Amino acid sequence: MTVHVSRAKAFATHSKWPGKKLLAHAWFLALLTLVALPPFACQKLRAQVPSVDHPPGPGTALPSPPKTENIDIYIHRGWDTLSRSMAECKTLVDPKVNAAPLLYLPLGAPTPPELLRLRSQCKIRIAHLPHRIEHLGDVKESEVPQPGLLYLPYRYVVPGGRFNEMFGWDSYFIILGLLRDGRVELARGMVENFFYEIENYGAVLNANRTYFLTRSQPPLLSSMIRAVYDAEVSRDASPANLARQNQWLARAYGYARRDHDFWLGTIHRAGDTGLARYFDIGEGPVPDIADHSSYYIDVINWLVAHPDVHTNYLIAAPQTPSPAEQATLAETSCDALHSVVCALAYAHGYRLTRDFYKGDRAVRESGFDISFRFDPFSGSTHHYAAVGLNSLLYKYERDLADFAGMLHHPEQAAQWKREAGARRETINKYLWNPGKGMFFDYDFTTGKQSTYVFATIFYPLWTGVATAQQAAAVDKNLALLNRPGGLASSTYASGLQWDLPFGWAPLNWFAADGLVKYGYVSDARRVAAEFTHTISTSFQKEGTIHEKYNVETGSSNVDLIAGYQNVVGFGWTNAVYVEMEHLLQSTARKPQ
């Protein structure tokens, strides 16, 4: 179905967000302060900044970048502030759930000495998973009733705030920032952690918590491998080092193939299109929103208030079901006996359907939680072949072809190129709209292409799947999403965080870098200048960097009607800022 702008605006007008949060232990909140803000984030900054109430628009000259010494120092120091290891108490803190810290090791894995010290110092429990995991789903959610952190052997960088784990696609951008800062060992260790996840937890996880053992995140491992490999060779081009890096690449290639195969499995097939979809094998509401568990109530409230929006998301149900009714609801909605969040998800005589929860989980694998892109609250995500996902898989297959060639496997390289070529043809068949000059997601359950304009229209440029003519058409549509403070996620103002007027570092980076790759340097510079200006001026006022920004006002003022608000830190924004700085410097015209 298509969600109209008027309906999205109605959502923002009529919905209310109560913002209730579960209380945690006092010591837990004390530790949380260590996670949320770097110690220097509250220093008073001397730089005077221009007003950003009305930042420059697309038709004006590029904004002059403000003084950046302090922000560059903040980002440089931030990699250490945001880094975690299994030898630190703050690593175990989880702001998202109300539970005592618990660390899980793979079944049969020995307990490292540093964990024994951690158990004593931090008063935590250490346990082993009940089964060896080869594929997601080998350990059921019910078999790990108490959530906990999953062990990783190497130090890693977290996004910040409530996100105190090593996240899947966040880590790609963080790795770019680390490499730009010369932190090659830390970046490489994070890639090694993903190999460990594949080997011991069945996949590259959404993040290393037990409640993420049901899903992954956008497939960027091959891009991480390529970035680290190139950095290692760049700093030492000797034959001896090249041989060492090729040995590492051979090992990395095996893990990358396994990760790619994960996305070609049955659960991720978008019908018979030959394309992929996002999917989470879990059931019911996600447990990682316990700190804003009234979210699902707000979904019900909105759906009841908008009966003209037809979905299959609501099911009539009693607030206190009988045992027989509860057994039925466990199949048609969710199991309140095993999920506190499920038990709370009730309003106006309704609960949410099982299919809504499948879509809600799938959108979290996509990383774009939440918008109206895949119908209201993206409750139908699992019904779509997504532009971004399939573009990334095209790049993955091209990367694997390159790796195979570098490792002297010409037949494998040729096969990967054929797979990439077949995917490109399928993307053009289902996702390209020549009339509108953009790529759109495809609902394979209805056989219809979406009309929802989202910033993933630039992914085919970043991944190289677009033809020159397609790239030219997409570039002409830049104005649809371009705002004074950078690129907006979509053209719909739903009041949710991945919609207008909010802009995010990953989408802005993929757009800017993708435009450069096709020769649209001026437009790429504009996006980069606008978004870095938003980050810089906000930083000089507040002394911190945020997860997302309002790109219409060019500020960090984010007022959402559902879900958590803004988060400080922040890993991928830090990284994209320095990458965009480099883009602006490297593409600047030299004086004649």
- Give the Cα separation of 24 and 421 in Å (integer): 51
User: Are residues 97 and 584 in contact, defined by beta-carbon separation less than 8 angstroms?
Assistant: no
**165 catalytic, yes or no?**
no
The pLDDT value recorded for residue 450 is 98
CA distance 270 to 240: 45
Is 518 inside a domain boundary? no
Q: Which residues pair with residue 454 across a beta bridge?
A: 490
Q: Find the catalytic residue in 399, 547, 552, 579.
A: 547
206 in the same domain as 104: yes
The total domain count for the chain is 2
Q: Is residue 30 part of a domain?
A: no
Q: Among positive and negative, which fits the CA dihedral 204, 213, 419, 173?
A: negative
**Which pTM does this prediction carry?**
0.89
pLDDT of residue 98: 81
Cα diameter, the chain? 81
Question: In terms of domains, do 132 and 243 share one?
Answer: yes
Asked whether residue 109 falls in the same domain as residue 221, the answer is yes
Question: What are the Cα distances from residue 238, in Å, to 187, 234, 246, 248, 253?
Answer: 21, 10, 12, 15, 22
In a domain, 453, yes or no: no
* Helix, coil or strand: residue 25: coil
Neighbouring-strand partners of residue 432: 439
Asked if 341 and 199 sit in the same domain, the reply is no
Q: What is the pLDDT along the chain (592 residues), one digit of tens a residue?
A: 444 333 344 334 333 333 333 333 333 333 333 334 333 333 332 233 333 333 344 444 555 444 445 999 999 999 999 999 999 999 999 999 888 889 999 999 999 998 998 888 998 999 999 999 999 999 998 899 899 999 999 999 999 999 999 999 999 999 999 999 999 999 999 999 999 999 999 999 999 999 999 999 999 999 999 999 999 999 999 999 999 999 999 999 999 999 999 999 999 999 999 999 999 999 999 998 877 778 999 999 999 999 999 999 999 999 999 999 999 999 999 999 989 899 999 999 999 999 999 999 999 999 999 999 999 999 999 999 999 999 999 999 999 999 999 999 999 999 999 999 999 999 999 999 999 999 999 999 999 999 999 999 999 999 999 999 999 999 999 999 999 999 999 999 999 999 999 999 999 999 999 999 999 999 999 999 999 999 999 999 999 999 999 999 999 999 887 778 899 999 999 999 999 999 999 999 866 4
Q: Check whether residue 144 and residue 96 sit in a common domain.
A: yes
Q: Is 547 one of the annotated active-site residues of the chain?
A: yes
End-to-end CA distance of the chain: 55
One-letter identity of residue 168 = G
Domain limits at 234? 82-263
Q: Which of 197, 229, 263 is the last residue of a domain?
A: 263
CA angle (499 as vertex; 497, 502 as ends), nearest 5: 65
Query: Given strand 125-128, what is the order of strands in its sheet?
Result: 125-128, 102-105, 149-150
* Domain annotation covers residue 412: no
Q: What pLDDT shows up at residue 360?
A: 98
Given 94, 170, 288, 369, the catalytic residue: 369
At 551, is the secondary structure helix, strand, or coil? coil
The reply to whether 525 falls in a domain is: no
Contact status, residue 439 vs residue 431, Cβ threshold 8 Å: yes
The pLDDT assigned to 8 comes to: 40
Question: In Å, how far from its chain's centre is CA 213?
Answer: 16
Q: Does 348 lie in the same domain as 294?
A: yes
- Structural domain includes residue 224: yes
